[in-house]
Chain A
Amino acid sequence: MQLTLEFGGGLELLSNSVKIHNVNVELKNGAEKLTMKDLLAWVRTNLIKERPEMFMKGDSVRPGVLVLVNDCDWELSGQLDTTLEEKDVVVFISTLHGG
């Protein structure tokens, strides 16, 4: 499944300072849908090159990281249960810094 992933707020430093990634994510064997939970695991394995604990805590993103799916707060679409579709845009923004 083709997806566009964006990192911001300093998270890009974890993925070789690349902010925008156009990726192709394989669904798990036998799986019909791709959920955010699956995607997070995929990102951690394939895109995060250092300090994964800054991106994720357990199954979900570290508290303080905002997630938008197609410009919508993922809290609205079910957080980890959000299902993704072809060409979706997912944005991860870290807010753990001074202001």
Chain B
Amino acid sequence: MEEVADTKARKGGARLCSLCDQRRAALKRPKTLEQICRECFYKVFEEEIHQVIVENQLFKPGERVAIGASGGKDSTVLAYVLSELNRRHNYGLDLFLLSVDEGITGYRDDSLETVKRNEIQYGLPLKIVSYKDLYGWTMDEIVKMIGLKNNCTFCGVFRRQALDRGAALLKVDKVATGHNADDIAETVLLNILRGDIARLSRCTSITTGEDGPIPRCKPFKYTYEKEINLNQICTYAYFKRLDYFSTECIYSPNAYRGFARELIKDLERIRPRAILDIIKSGENFRISTNTKMPEQRTCERCGYISSQKWCKACVLLEGLNRVCQSWVLGEAKALIMMAERK
């Protein structure tokens, strides 16, 4: 391996890692533009996450923590890094994997295979909750009913609740998700574009829902998506494979977030720091005292946290069931008419 590295040394500009000065530089960190080798990258990556966890007091010893695991690269790396840091720095946490099955054939069933592999690889107990069990509908059924225009709205709302219910079943104290800096910057932009002041004021917090049943935290808040990818790719190159599932959800092409994502990616190319700076701007927004903010209450139908009489999930479900009824009624009417004609 090293001989090949030497002859191809000119590919990396024959540069040595700027941190250890021993090994050949293999990548350029987006965050700092340092040119470093793989080993130093792993170390720096993991220790920075440790710093974020400590400085923001994300966990307490003895806590039961569920890692929201989709089988994708972010949650796979999160599962690995958290279990590694838990061991290395003695966080004293009880870690679990929590997965949501939305019922998307050809997408979710594949990514769940990845999570099941993660369960074995990292020795973390896995719990799967499904839309079918919780709501009576799979995403496949929902898309059949309403098409591809607003399906992501349904899925996003349902998933949030599903995670909370799964966490309650596991009796955990906290949920950790793999949202990275790119995701949070996209969310800030989305909320600005939509004028969603309430969400804008919350979306950059590293821990949310502390006043609710189960708080959530995002250890990757300051981690560039590119670095998570590089982490994956380094391991892939070394054949210590961290498996992860890597395709776009088949129902997502029209999601509004896609536009925010394109914008962030283009910005990153010109000025990589823009991602962290957008987050910083979001953290420092102050809402004018004249702005009326929604109040927090509970849903009258299911008891979940809500700012309206009914929570969004219940509103969406009611809509689905009505469409379904009218469709069924429509079919029934058509059948009756056909029978009468005969």
A→B interface (CB under 8 Å): 8-10, 13, 62-64, 66, 68-73, 75-77, 82, 91, 93-99
Contacts and interface: CB of A to CB of B under 8 A. Distances in A.
Contacts of A64: 261, 265
B141 interface: no
B11 A76 contact: yes
A82 B10 CA distance: 10
A47 to B, nearest CB: 19
B70 A76 contact: no
B233 A68 contact: yes
Interface in B1-19: 4, 8, 11-13, 15
A91 B229 CA distance: 13
Given A76-B28, A99-B72, A63 B35 contact: no
A8 to B, nearest CB: 7
B247 interface: yes
Contacts of B265: 62-64, 96
B237 A77 contact: no
B266 interface: yes
Interface string B251-282: 01000000001100110110000000000000
Contact of A95 (B11, B225, B237): B225
Interface residues of B, number: 38
B248 A75 contact: no
Most chain B CB inside 10 Å of its own CB: which residue of A77, A95, A98: A98
Contact of B237 (A71, A96, A99): A71
Contacts of B252: 98
A82 B13 CA distance: 10
B336 interface: no
Given A73-B27, A76-B25, A93-B233, A99 B13 contact: no
Given A70-B4, A76-B26, 4 more contacts: A77-B11, A93-B233, A98-B72, A98-B74
B275 to A, nearest CB: 12
Given A73-B27, A82-B11, A99-B228, A63 B237 contact: no
B75 A99 contact: yes
Given A13-B247, A71-B26, A75-B27, A97 B12 contact: no
Given A95-B73, A95-B229, A97-B247, A72 B11 contact: yes
Contacts of B244: 99
A75 B28 contact: yes
B307 interface: no
Interface of B: 4, 8, 11-13, 15, 25-28, 35, 70, 72-76, 178, 180, 225-226, 228-230, 233, 237, 244, 246-249, 252, 261-262, 265-266, 268-269
A63 B266 contact: yes
A70 B249 contact: no
A99 B15 CA distance: 32
A46 to B, nearest CB: 23
A95 B161 CA distance: 27
B258 to A, nearest CB: 9
Nearest to A85: B8
B13 A77 contact: yes
B248 A98 contact: yes
Given A76-B28, A97-B246, A99-B228, A69 B73 contact: no
A70 B26 CA distance: 10
A98 B11 contact: no
Given A63-B265, A93-B229, A99-B178, A72 B248 contact: no
A66 B232 CA distance: 12
A14 to B, nearest CB: 12
B246 A8 contact: yes
A98 B71 CA distance: 9
